[in-house]
Amino acid sequence: MTNKIATPTAAKEPGLLRTNRDFRQFWSSQGLVAYGSQVGLIALPLIAITTLQAGAEQVGVLVALQRISFPLIGLFVGVWLDRVDRRKALISGDIGQALLLTAIVVVWWRGLLSLPVLIGLAALAGALYVVSEIGHFAFLPDVLSSPKDLLSANTYLQVTASTAMIVGPSAAGLLVSLLEPTPTLLVNAAMLFLSAMLLTLMRTRTAARTDGPRPAEGVLAGIRAGIATVYQNPTLRALGEMAGIYMFFYTAFQTLVILFLVETLKLSSLLVGVFFAAFGGGFLLTSLVGRRISGRLGVGRSMVLGALVGDVASVLVSAIPGGSVTVAAVLAAACAAVMGAGTQINTVNAVSMRQGLTPPHLQGRVNATMRVIAWGVAPLGGLLGGVLGGQLGVRTGLAVAAAGTILAAVRLAVSPAARLQTLPD
């Protein structure tokens, strides 16, 4: 792989789903994970809130411990992924998460589920999620025949993820309305099992890396190589810092938003699902037209504008008045759609740029470093959300958290990435 990224036009874009069997399997696997995760996104907080009567601080602890594995083990996972068959690592991560989610349902069915048990099992699932999250970014270049396919491949994956954001939350909200929140986790578990099955059918294996970290090489030396690659490249460094700022405040926002929708605006589980589906709708729209926007405004300015628009929309969520459930639901969905549209404009370009600028033998470590920067601060963000909600009230706390995300757009605006007109080719 070279250190440049091709930016194919729509007319020249290869039909990866037709020509690359392994990418088709990988895309299907990631689609199942994306759909299933939307169920867990809604079900786990609702289990804590409605089944176990958790408050803002307790939900903050749940969110924080689900994310704590990134700063604890993320960099070590990155080194490990550069030494093993990444496909097998992804299979293990999917199966492990599925078993833990099933365990939550079994414990609930036996009448033994408590908040500490829920938090503990969710935290263990979060540790395995680290393997899956870092692993799929690192494995994608192995699946493709050429670096020029990265932008197209990530577009396929992001369109699928955005449709999952539309269908998944609505389906999850409907399931929770018909059943209790806990049994819906079985849907997430089943999709993880199916994902693992698809991965086993792939032919791609991670090639032996003569230029990668050797077993005799110290783990800490391998970690330092990944960190150095990110921080010695001004563009990668800026993207990582932007992601860290955003995830810190967005996790605080995410901790409070379901509480706000349910307790302040009095929305039903189904309408909470509609809120997240609307986010996915905005995400999907930008996935389909994002390249045109970047072509007209330039990649850098598009990323800054998208971040700013999405962040301002999240602030507006906290300003939605109570009273009429119908009005509140419509306004919340509108804000969520704008949030999704603004957020997505950053994703495909940023991920493709990161993967394209990273040598094959460093994919695991660089992606781990970037995910640790972004998700490593998420536990603190979850705790911040709990504190803000408990001390200032849910509405005010949500507004403060949302306003904080604007700092990420500011960081991007003063970075080298903001001055890019096109992706390197």
For the cut 60, the answer to whether the pLDDT of residue 29 exceeds it is yes
| Highest mean pLDDT of the ranges 112-116, 285-289, 396-400 | 396-400
7 pLDDT more than 60 = no
Q: Exposed/middle/buried for 178, CB within 10 Å: 0-12, 13-18, 19+?
A: exposed
Give the burial string for 332-368 (b: 16+ CB within 10 Å, else e).
bbbbbbbbbbbbbbbbbbbbbbbbbbbebbbbbbbbb
Domain ranges for the chain, please list them. Answer: 15-203+218-419
Per-residue model confidence (pLDDT) at position 12: 43
Whole-angstrom distance, CA of residue 394 vs CA of residue 339: 20
The whole-angstrom separation of Cα 299 and Cα 349 is 8
- Sequence-ordered list of residues with C-beta below 8 angstroms from that of 238, at least 6 positions apart, any chain: 411, 412, 415, 416, 417
pLDDT in tens, 57-114: 788 788 777 777 878 888 888 888 888 888 999 999 999 999 999 999 999 999 899 9
pLDDT higher than 50, residue 247: yes
| pTM reported for the whole predicted model | 0.69
Model pLDDT, residue 3:
39
Q: Which has more pLDDT, 363 or 398? A: 398
> Does CATH number 3.40.440.10 belong to domain 15-203+218-419?
no
pLDDT at 209 over 60: no
